[in-house]
Amino acid sequence: MNQNLDFELIQSVRNVLESEFSTKELSEACDVSQTTINELRSGKRELRKTSLQNALSLYHFACRNEMNAEHIMENEKKGKFSTIPLNLSVSKVLVSFENLDLFAYGVLKQSYNDAEFPNRKDRLENLHLSTAVFITKDGKIYNCEEFGYTFNCRYNGAGPNNLVRFLQKFSNLDEAQLSQVIHANSVVEYDFQTDTIAGYPSLIEGQPITLLSFNEKLIIMLNKYENSSLKKWKESVTLESAPSDILFLTNTLEENYKLSAKIKAIYHIPKNAQNEQYSLSQLPRFQRPNNGIQIVIEYEDFEIWLPYKIYQAKGDIFENEEMNLFLNGLGITYNPEKKNFIQTLLDSKEPIDKISTLPVYYEDEL
């Protein structure tokens, strides 16, 4: 007999014989005589010398009642996994309900299907983010779908219950404890090293932004600020809250991704001046704002785009009251060049049909 199988069988039968089940109960359940069970329990008969049929009957009883050696050993391991083997040493699993929450919490990982197609040069790419990742002991991030796992949270359904069942294999926490956290929270983190599970609130609900990439540069498009005439009947959109939204995003990128939040320049791009990149023609039609991209904030490692149209046809767009409030909200003071009366008058009649650029300088750079 295989040595491992031999151990499993003998140890499992011993577990049954040493259990609190009465001899009568075992005899009736296993179809083994009470005399045989008594002799096995007292040591009068050696376990190895009993018939294979009796041994298998007792072993199957052990399996049905979770007393077989393999099950007990697996239970003893629960809560003691510092990592789990999936051809890599996984130390954490992180799952979110909202598409953008892992990004907000510092995990930017493309979905498994996207990862198969690298970014193409001079091509605007839509980033589809993963909502369930394994994190290894050395900090590497892998999409759970890559290993055949579909996890979710914040509701009682297939995805969240897949996560519950998966964690039950490794955790001392019972099903109720795992379900309570997984079903009730927008973001769930399980740590194999400490055998702990934690739930967190959503930071970005819905789809207020779209993450894009152009030549490996991250671009964040603020969808909620599209104010085209087609959307005006739905809601009133202004730039008033844009600076606080932008500050949240730049803080996230600075703190979690170590990207500089210093603004290099701000561009105003009239629709008729938009090139192929800013017109978003490379994106699916349903993802293109009707205004295109009219305000671009350029940082060292990323850009923030707003599909917001400022309704001014002539003059200096950066002197526009709405634009000025927006700049002030970003901590930027616009100081236009001093011009004489005639030049000011001429400029005020100049149509806004070209890209306007506002370089941004900081005191420590002057």
Q: Which residue has the higher pLDDT, 339 or 9?
A: 9
Measure the CA–CA gap between 50 and 161, rounded to whole angstroms. 43
Give the CA angle between residues 329, 255, 200 to the nearest 5°: 100
pLDDT of 203 above 60: yes
Measure the CA–CA gap between 28 and 111, rounded to whole angstroms. 55
Contact 96, 102 (CB under 8 A): yes
Find the DSSP H helices in the chain. 3-17, 23-30, 34-42, 52-64, 69-77, 101-104, 112-115, 158-168, 175-184, 229-232, 242-257, 321-329, 341-348
DSSP bridge partners of 92: 135, 191
Tally Cβ neighbours within 10 Å of residue 253. Answer: 22
DSSP character at residue 225: G
Domain ranges across the chain = 3-77, 84-200, 209-365
Contact 163, 151 (CB under 8 A): yes
For 69, list phi and psi in degrees, rounded to 5. -60, -40
Measure the CA–CA gap between 77 and 66, rounded to whole angstroms. 15
Task: Count Cα neighbours of 15 within 13 Å in the Cβ-side half-sphere.
Answer: 21
pLDDT of residue 258: 93
Helix (H, G, I), strand (E, B) or coil at 47: helix
Contact 144, 115 (CB under 8 A): no
pLDDT of 192 above 70: yes
CA-closest candidate to residue 319, choices 282, 346, 358, 353: 358
Encoded tokens for 68: 């077989």
Contact 116, 200 (CB under 8 A): no
pLDDT of 302 above 50: yes
Phi-psi region of 192 (alpha: psi -120 to 50; beta: other; left: phi over 0): alpha
Q: How many helices (H) and strands (E) does the chain have?
A: 13, 13
% of the chain exceeding 70 in pLDDT = 78
Q: Which residues, at least 6 apart from 15, have a Cβ–Cβ distance to it below 8 Å?
A: 62, 67, 68, 69, 72
Measure the CA–CA gap between 298 and 342, rounded to whole angstroms. 33
Give the CA angle between residues 107, 130, 259 to the nearest 5°: 30
pLDDT of 99 above 70: yes
CA-closest candidate to residue 312, choices 358, 356, 359, 246: 356
- Reported as a single tens digit per residue, the pLDDT across 159-177 is 999 999 999 988 999 999 9
- Reported as a single tens digit per residue, the pLDDT across 141-165 is 999 988 888 999 999 999 999 999 9
pLDDT of 122 above 80: no
pLDDT of 218 above 60: yes
DSSP character at residue 49: G
pLDDT of residue 75: 61
Taking the CA atoms of the chain, what radius of gyration do you get in angstroms?
32
Q: Which helix (H) or strand (E) holds 190?
A: strand 187-191
Q: Is residue 273 classed exposed, middle or buried when 0-12, 13-18 and 19+ CB atoms within 10 A define those classes? A: middle
Contact 297, 282 (CB under 8 A): no
Measure the CA–CA gap between 4 and 9, rounded to whole angstroms. 9
Average of per-residue pLDDT across 297-317: 91
CA-closest candidate to residue 225, choices 245, 248, 205, 206: 245
pLDDT of residue 4: 45
